[in-house]
Chains A and B, each alone.
Chain A
Amino acid sequence: MATQHETGWQHDLYDLLRRKGITQIAYVPDAGHSILIDRSLADPDVHSIPLTTEEEGVALAAGADLGGARAILLMQSSGVGNCINMLSLIKGARVPFLTLVSMRGDFGEGNPWQFAMGQATEAVLAAMGVICLRIERREDVIPVTSAALTMAFKSGQAIAVLLSQRLIGAKPFD
């Protein structure tokens, strides 16, 4: 069981997103985002939107933006590959875009299937014009995500915050 100390940063992260006006939270479930997902489901003032595939969340974010609202996409690094062509919409229409990506195929990964997409995540995002900010330590979560929110919603950029496996914890090898 994770202790309150271990998961406290995820609650702080949720509160930050809400303070900055995020009202649509879309996700393909991942253990690394479970607290954000649970908080969004319990929050009557946000739309909590489970997706069948991550690219739906990219298009949803563009629609929210057309309507003057702010969306965020939560996904695992394997889902980044599912978004590639849909990111043309973000780049072409210059839609402010923020995604939080929980990493697999990264520090301490025990499933070899995860490495191909995990190791390609930053290169793929960069190739589609998404700026990556990587977080390794708990104390960086709030300052880095605050910076990402400013870059996305004040400067109109596409930003991915990568939550490393060192931060969220790799499944132990047994």
Chain B
Amino acid sequence: MANETTSASPATTTPGFVLERGEAVPELIGRHQDFLIVTGLGGTACDVGAVAGDGAHVFSLGGAMGAACMIGLGLALARPDKRVLVVTGDGELLMNVGALATIAIKDPANLAILCVDNGHYGETGWQKSHTSLGVDLEKIAIGCGVRQTCTVAGTGDIAYGARLLRGGNGTSFVVLRVKPTEPPAFKRNFDASFCRDRFRAALQQTQA
């Protein structure tokens, strides 16, 4: 069960969703220790877990769907000395898509959002999400005023996407289009209070 990233799902692949998440996410994140990371509650918690393990610099949701981007904003404003990476899915982002508007007007330069877009709700039976029915999250982000955006749909886009996540003149937003396949297997800690305390304690130790 170490790697399920290539296993088939009941979902039919939508044209344009061809990358393997198990390969593309680690390549985009690179050195995970460079970030404070907030993840969504489904596959993205496992994507990051496969890269960073059960690390103190990661806070993953187990519920409260739609929270990830705004947790990232609060954290980025609180710690301008650190780089904050939100890794979320298309379904989680769509649930609170207005957060992109709120984030764009604050535009913290130390915040990056990576949306792993498989066009489906993988946790609940692979129902299609709006992004396989024509909704383009990068265009929404642009319309909100996010200035640093890109869509990574092929291996040739990964290097540019990785650069955007690591810096720029404002918040960056990267959509990664992937096949609707199972995320990497990862057993995560669902004790949110423990994870919150651990995250804060580890961060406090790095206080300048």
Chain A residues proximal to chain B, CB less than 8 Å: 23-24, 47, 49-53, 55-69, 71, 85-86, 88-89, 92-95
Contacts and interface: CB of A to CB of B under 8 A. Distances in A.
A50 B106 CA distance: 9
Interface stretch (B11-19, B24-32, B180-188, B190-198): B190-198
B165 interface: no
Contacts of B38: 63, 66
Given A52-B101, A89-B64, 16 more contacts: A23-B78, A52-B98, A57-B70, A58-B67, A59-B67, A60-B70, A63-B38, A63-B71, A63-B73, A63-B77, A63-B78, A66-B199, A67-B82, A67-B203, A89-B67, A94-B196
A99 to B, nearest CB: 14
Given A24-B74, A93-B195, A88 B63 contact: yes
A24 B192 contact: no
Contacts, number: 123
B167 interface: no
Contacts of B116: none
Given A62-B71, A66-B74, A85 B64 contact: yes
A58 to B, nearest CB: 8
A68 B201 CA distance: 9
Given A68-B79, A68-B204, A88 B71 contact: no
Contacts of A69: 74, 77-79
A53 B74 CA distance: 15
Contacts of B146: none
Nearest to A67: B78
Nearest to A53: B98
Contacts of A71: 74
A67 to B, nearest CB: 3
Nearest to A48: B106
Contact of B74 (A62, A86, A88, A93): A62
Contact of B70 (A50, A59, A93): A59
Nearest to A70: B78
A55 B71 CA distance: 11
Contact of B102 (A49, A64, A67): A49
